[in-house]
Amino acid sequence: MDDRSLNGNILIVDDKADNLRLLSRMLGQRGYEVRSAISGSAALMAVRALPPDLILLDINMPAMNGYQVCEELKACEQTGAIPIIFLSALSDTADKVKAFRIGGADYITKPFQVEEVLARVENQLTLRQMQLKLQRSNQKLMQEVQQRKRAQDILQDSEAALRQRTQEMEAALEELRLTQMQLVQSEKMSSLGQLVAGVAHEINNPINFIHGNLRPARDYAEHLLMLIQAYQKSAPTPPELQAQMDSIDLDFVKQDLPQLLESMQVGIDRIMGIIRSLRTFSRLDEADIKTVDLHDGLDSTLMILSNRLKQEDNSDGVEIVKCYGDLPRVECYPGQLNQVFMNILTNALDAIEDENSQRLAQGRSPQLGQITISTRITEAQTVQISILDNGPGMPDSVQQRLFDPFFTTKPIGRGTGLGMSISYRIITERHRGTLSCTSTLGQGTEFVITIPLQQSQSQPQSLTMHGREEAGLSPEPC
């Protein structure tokens, strides 16, 4: 069926004009494109001029009856596939058998029943459409078979040469892949440095503004609280004012406001320390070695993570156990060490929380998460910080790649794979120390940081943003 009509092109052949008008009107109202021929010879001319999708052919016609028209059409290759529905007042079985034997597709007995004619026409046009579709599919399949056969012949003829060429291409691709990985790794680290520099610069300005205004705000708040206290002592409190003071819980506000401002000050100081560390990574400026109490850095990091830790007034969160030794003040880069603490503690919290989420999904009770932080002085006069969790632990395959850049076991969007790599370089390159990991599946993970009490003044003053292989370094065995 072509695009000449939405429903199909039908040729009606009958020597009776009334029958032609009736069938033409009936089919035309259903959207078919209808042509008519009043004799057998006229029908043959119409078919040769424009082959229809279906022919309604009367049997009893003068000069050339329907059987003769059908036989001539079926004998021609171009018209032999056109379906023909015979129209006749003859109801004898022999007539019907002859009609089907010479190639008729269907038979309609006069007088016509509208619904029967429409149903049989629609059925034949549907069959015709399916036949044409099948023919096109078969032709396409034959073409594909021939193309594949030709390709197979060519492949067999050049098999030896192709095998050699394939081996050469595989070797070239492997070399290209290795080179590309090195270039991508180098570009990522370079881009990271630029990104960190930009982020640190953009954050630094508003943070400096907040930091500069926070101390005056604390002084103003202190003065106002002193004024309120003096007013309460020296002047009677009207009932309306007392009711307002009770509604806002003034005593609690006076106690909590200084603590809130102090927490904000600690948080701002921590953010500024992180910004200084980020600027150091991007080599915009250099951080100075300072003599500090490492416990202060650990405590400030825990404060930033306090929303995920167990508090005294509730049982949620991970419990922190501090086993601090008697440490002297240590020469180090405190902002960078705090970043290492943050990376290790965050990973431990993620592991414990993910394990408990899986336990809940399996219908099991979550376990109490616990992180133990221990510090001590070693016999070699170094400081050792141990961070031990009771999470799910790691397999050997993960431990072996733990400090590789961009390696992460977290889903996309939750981790960049750079935290432990950067932490490793902070400890080994900047502090001439060691960072090791010991983990057993089902028993938890322990990270041990060891750094000297004093830092040499001859050590590098900035972290390189390159891989450990370029720096001649390798991770501690886990």
Residue 162 lies in a domain: no
Give residue 177's pLDDT.
64
Name the residue with higher pLDDT: 171 or 70.
70
pLDDT score of 38 more than 90: yes
Give residue 462's pLDDT.
45
Name the residue with higher pLDDT: 376 or 113.
376
Residue 16 lies in a domain: yes
Are 71 and 43 contacting, i.e. CB atoms less than 8 angstroms apart? no
Confidence of residue 467 (pLDDT cuts 50, 70, 90): very low
Give residue 179's pLDDT.
54
Q: Is 320 in the same domain as 413? A: yes
- Choose among 139, 104, 99: nearest CA to 124: 104
Give residue 459's pLDDT.
53
User: What is the C-alpha to C-alpha distance for residues 206 and 451, in angstroms, rounded to an integer?
Assistant: 34
User: What is the C-alpha to C-alpha distance for residues 283 and 427, in angstroms, rounded to an integer?
Assistant: 17
Q: Is 246 in the same domain as 343? A: yes
Q: What is the overall mean pLDDT for the chain? A: 80
pLDDT score of 311 more than 70: no
Entry field: residues in the chain = 478
- Between 47-61, 131-145, 306-320, the lowest mean confidence (pLDDT) is in 306-320
- Choose among 25, 113, 103: nearest CA to 66: 103
Helix 159-234 and helix 114-157, axial crossing angle in degrees, nearest 10: 110
User: What is the C-alpha to C-alpha distance for residues 218 and 135, in angstroms, rounded to an integer?
Assistant: 88
Residue 169 lies in a domain: no
Give residue 465's pLDDT.
38
Q: Is 40 in the same domain as 115? A: yes
| Entry pTM | 0.42
Confidence of residue 464 (pLDDT cuts 50, 70, 90): very low
CATH code for position 339: 3.30.565.10
Give residue 129's pLDDT.
84
What token pair was written down for 189?
């680290």
- Of the residues 95, 123, 150, which one is the last residue of a structural domain? 150
- Choose among 15, 28, 9, 21: nearest CA to 89: 15
Give residue 180's pLDDT.
62
Are 56 and 28 contacting, i.e. CB atoms less than 8 angstroms apart? no
Q: Is 282 in the same domain as 377? A: yes
Residue 178 lies in a domain: no
- Between 151-155, 183-187, 245-249, 271-275, the lowest mean confidence (pLDDT) is in 183-187
Render 104-145 in DSSP notation, one character per residue. -SEEEESSP-HHHHHHHHHHHHHHHHHHHHHHHHHHHHHHHH
Q: Is 82 in the same domain as 209? A: no
CATH code for position 117: 3.40.50.2300
Confidence of residue 181 (pLDDT cuts 50, 70, 90): low
Domain count, the chain: 2
Residue 11 CA: distances (Å) to CA of 60, 97, 121, 127: 17, 23, 11, 17
- Of the residues 119, 150, 181, which one is the last residue of a structural domain? 150
Share of the chain above pLDDT 90, in %: 24
Q: Is 141 in the same domain as 216? A: no
pLDDT score of 139 more than 60: yes
Residue 239 lies in a domain: yes
Residue 106 lies in a domain: yes
Confidence of residue 197 (pLDDT cuts 50, 70, 90): low
User: What is the C-alpha to C-alpha distance for residues 201 and 215, in angstroms, rounded to an integer?
Assistant: 22
Q: Is 115 in the same domain as 217? A: no
* 402-451 pLDDT tens trace: 887 767 777 665 666 677 888 888 899 889 999 999 998 988 999 999 99
Most confident option among 18-27, 210-219, 405-414, 465-474? 18-27
Are 197 and 285 contacting, i.e. CB atoms less than 8 angstroms apart? no
Give residue 184's pLDDT.
55
Mean of pLDDT values over 378-385: 93
Give residue 187's pLDDT.
57
Strands 290-292 and 330-332 turn out to be antiparallel
Task: Sheet with 106-109: list strands edge to edge.
Answer: 33-37, 9-13, 54-58, 84-88, 106-109
Q: Is 323 in the same domain as 438? A: yes
- Between 115-124, 172-181, 183-192, 226-235, the lowest mean confidence (pLDDT) is in 183-192
- Between 22-26, 352-356, 413-417, 451-455, the lowest mean confidence (pLDDT) is in 413-417
Residue 191 lies in a domain: no
- Between 8-12, 109-113, 358-362, the lowest mean confidence (pLDDT) is in 109-113
User: What is the C-alpha to C-alpha distance for residues 15 and 179, in angstroms, rounded to an integer?
Assistant: 84
- Strand (E) positions, 306-403? 319-323, 330-332, 370-377, 382-389
What token pair was written down for 151?
């390709």
Residue 256 CA: distances (Å) to CA of 40, 86, 168, 268, 395: 107, 100, 74, 18, 46
Q: Is 38 in the same domain as 141? A: yes
Helix 250-281 and helix 159-234, axial crossing angle in degrees, nearest 10: 150
Q: Is 113 in the same domain as 222? A: no
Q: Is 127 in the same domain as 215? A: no
Domain limits at 430?
Answer: 197-471
432: alpha, beta or left, given left = phi > 0 and alpha = psi -120 to 50? left
For 393-419, letters b (16+ CB in 10 Å) and e give bbeeebbeebbebeebbeeeeebeebb
Cβ atoms < 10 Å from Cβ of 219 = 11
Q: Is 212 in the same domain as 114? A: no
Residue 157 lies in a domain: no
pLDDT score of 275 more than 80: no
